A = this chain, B = another copy of it.
Amino acid sequence: MVEDVHFRLTNGWATPAEVGHRALAGALSDLAAMGAEPGEAYLVLGLPHGFAEERALELVREAIALGAETGTAIAGGDVVVAPVLTVSVTAVGWAQTEQELIGRDGAVHGDIVGVTGRLGGAAAGLAVLEGRAEATPGAEAALRRVRRPRPRLREGRALAGAGVHAMIDLSDGLAADAGHIGRSSGAHLRLRLATLPLEDGVQEIAAELDIPAWRLAAGAGDDYELCFCASPGNRARVEEAVSAQGDVEVSWIGEVIPGAPGATLSDERGDDVRVEGFEHRW
Contacts and interface: CB of A to CB of B under 8 A. Distances in A.
A198 to B, nearest CB: 28
A52 interface: no
Interface string A114-157: 00000000000000000000000000000000000000000000
A92 B77 CA distance: 11
A222 to B, nearest CB: 13
A83 B5 CA distance: 9
Interface in A3-52: 4-6, 40, 42, 44, 46
Contacts of A6: 80
B88 A2 contact: no
A269 to B, nearest CB: 38
Contacts of A81: 2, 5
Best-surrounded residue of A2, A88, A92 (most CB of chain B within 10 A) = A88
Task: Using C-beta atoms within 8 Å of the partner chain, give the interface range for chain A.
Answer: 10 to 19
A139 to B, nearest CB: 27
A90 interface: yes
B86 A46 contact: yes
B88 A44 contact: yes
B90 A2 contact: no
Given A2-B80, A5-B80, 7 more contacts: A1-B80, A2-B46, A2-B86, A5-B81, A5-B83, A82-B86, A86-B86
